[in-house]
Amino acid sequence: MTIDENILLKHLTTFKIGGLARYFCVAKSVADLKEATTFAKKAGVPIFVLGGGSNVLISDEGFHGLVIKMAIQGVKFEDDGNYVRAIVSAGESWDNFVSEAVKKGLWGVENLSGIPGTVGGAPVQNIGAYGVDVSETIESVEIFDTDNLGTRNLSADQCRFRYRDSLFKRPDGKDYIITKVSFRLAKEGKPNIFYKDLNKYFTLPGAPKSSIEEIRKAVLKIRSAKFPPLDKFGTAGSFFKNPIVDNGILEDLKKKFPEIPSFPTDDGLVKLPLAWILDKVCGSRGLKMEHVGLYERQPLVLVNFGEASSHEVLVLADKVAMDVRDKIGIKIEKEVRAIGEDRPPAKYRTGFWTLAYIYLPKITAVIQFFGWHHFRQNYLIGFLKSNKSPEDLMRHLNSKGYSRAHLAWKDKGEVFSVRKIVRHDFQYHIRFFNDYEIRGHYEYTAESHPIGHLCEAVFTDPKDYFDHLLYGYVEK
């Protein structure tokens, strides 16, 4: 196996976004995984395993570690009484496997037809569609443990599957690479066509009988009408998870939005369709910002219409999340995994700052939740001119070297927050708000002088600089 350097990742993802992998290899066997892991340990870099690249958003800055493209192949069907056990290697295409199971008349995964990606990716986010989650048919998962370089089986219980979640997304599963998945498929199955769209399909006059082949056909048809074609647009499917809330919250929402659909979960909570909220409450169906937007036919799906950057996607995602929070007070979570998010300058790429970039925003969010910093910082620059859009402003700032500000309070009504580091230890920090206010200041970076930054030891208003930078974009 060869380990290459500086390989462009963009074309290996369905979003068609992403910079370079510092190191890259294709693993066709467990022996390759051993070799790759040993290499990464020696080089002191992190590992990221890429399957079909259908649920990731890779930063334009790339991934400063080893990307292992999973390519272990093999499918085996074993008879087990009324069931058949399908043992499928992680690098196999998910939909080829579903198609093969359907051809053999084996029930369990037919509702999951047409999902892009690999078999190894399926358990990670517990893929689901049309009323079925993959965890319902998974019997066990074989993993390669990068800690001790051995393989072992985990039962479905040990995988701790939840809605679009599993052990493999959590810190205690971070050392595991999925190598094989065993599915328990039924020889005699019952059609599961309770999901609204499928039900409609099979109850229309002249509809076919819901045989396993017809269910696959129906799912493929429904999907192609809802999701953007991957040969035309970049996308990773639903960008956010549907929020799960308790009944109290639902009752409150119903007072304002009596029509809101809701679906009970097994643990007594309710799942709300975010697509409905975005469409009917936020009015953001078809929202477009620069080269990214929400797909017209399914607003939960973020689309790269052309040469979008990961930064643009994150800014749009922040805006969507902010709108939902402002309108209905619910915090939504990303479903897509963001890899190697916007990187800071080289001198802050240390282990300490890597942890800080991950954890400090969470800590500040908790502090903000308890009521501190519910305001906007000083120094109003002005308002965005009416002939300019927020996207124009963002594009302009990006072109001037501004990128997302990670270590910053989220001010009231903020749509995006960007910074540009100057003279190593200082930064210009600009925020744009939902009432079109633009605020900005000059200060210590949080990295160079954390205390000075927090106490605003240097916190000034470089008026002339901002007037020059934002000439044509701002009105007073």
Residues within the interface to ligand EPU (CB under 6 A): 129-130, 195-197, 226, 237-238, 241-242, 261, 273, 275-276, 279-280, 285, 298-300, 335
Rounded to 5 degrees, φ, ψ at 13 are -125, 155
Q: Which is nearer to ligand EPU, 6 or 203 (CB)?
A: 203
Of 238, 284, 309, 310, catalytic: 238
- Spatial contact of 70 and 30, defined as CB atoms under 8 Å apart: no
Minimal distance, residue 215 CB to ligand EPU, in Å: 13
For residues 179 and 298, which CB has a smaller minimum distance to ligand EPU in the complex? Answer: 298
Catalytic residue at 335? Answer: yes
Any catalytic annotation for residue 238? Answer: yes
Tell me the closest approach of the beta carbon of residue 335 to ligand EPU, in angstroms: 5
Which of 142, 290, 335, 437 is flagged as catalytic?
Answer: 335
Residue nearest ligand EPU (C-beta atom): 237
Sheet of 138-145, strand order: 75-80, 83-89, 176-186, 138-145, 150-155
333 is catalytic: no
Among residues 22, 164, 184, 343, the one annotated as catalytic is 164
Minimum CB–partner distance for residue 140 and ligand EPU (Å): 23
Q: Shortest gap between Cβ of 50 and ligand EPU (angstroms)?
A: 17
CB of 235 vs ligand EPU, minimal distance in Å = 9
Q: Shortest approach of ligand EPU to residue 120 CB, angstroms? A: 16
Closest CB to ligand EPU among residues 140, 242: 242
Nearest alpha carbon to residue 417 among 386, 448, 441, 399: 441
Q: How far is the CB of 323 from ligand EPU (least distance, A)?
A: 15
Closest to ligand EPU by CB, 61 or 133 = 133
> Cα separation of 197 and 49, whole Å?
34
CB closer to ligand EPU, 15 vs 432 = 15
CB nearer to ligand EPU: give 218 or 275.
Answer: 275
Q: Decide whether 140 or 298 has the Cβ nearer to ligand EPU.
A: 298
Query: Residue 24, Cβ neighbours under 10 Å: how many?
Result: 23
Least distance (Å) from ligand EPU to the CB of residue 218?
12
Taking the least distance from each CB to ligand EPU, the nearer of 131 and 452 is 131
Q: How far is the CB of 51 from ligand EPU (least distance, A)?
A: 14
Using H for helix, E for strand and C for coil, what is the string for the chain? CCCEEEEECHHHCCCCCCCEEEEEEEECCHHHHHHHHHHHHHHCCCEEEECCCCCEEECCCCEEEEEEEECCCCEEEEEECCEEEEEEECCCEHHHHHHHHHHCCCECCHHHCCCCCECCHHHHCCCEECCEEHHHCEEEEEEEECCCCEEEEEECCCCCCECCECHHHCHHHCCEEEEEEEEEEECCCCCCCCCHHHHHHHHCCCCCCCCHHHHHHHHHHHHHHHCCCCCCCEEEEECECCCEECHHHHHHHHHHCCCCCCEECCCCCEECCHHHHHHHHCCCCCCEECCEEEECCEEEEEEECCCCCHHHHHHHHHHHHHHHHHHHCCCCCECCEEECCCCCCHHHCCHHHHHHHHHHHHHHHHHHHCCCCCCCCCCEEEEECCCCCHHHHHHHHHHCCCEECCCCCCCCCEEEEEEEEECCCEEEEEEEECCCEEEEEEEECCCCCHHHHHCCCCEECCHHHHHHHCCCCEEC
Cβ proximity to ligand EPU: between 50 and 84 the closer is: 50
Give the residue numbers marked as catalytic.
164, 238, 335
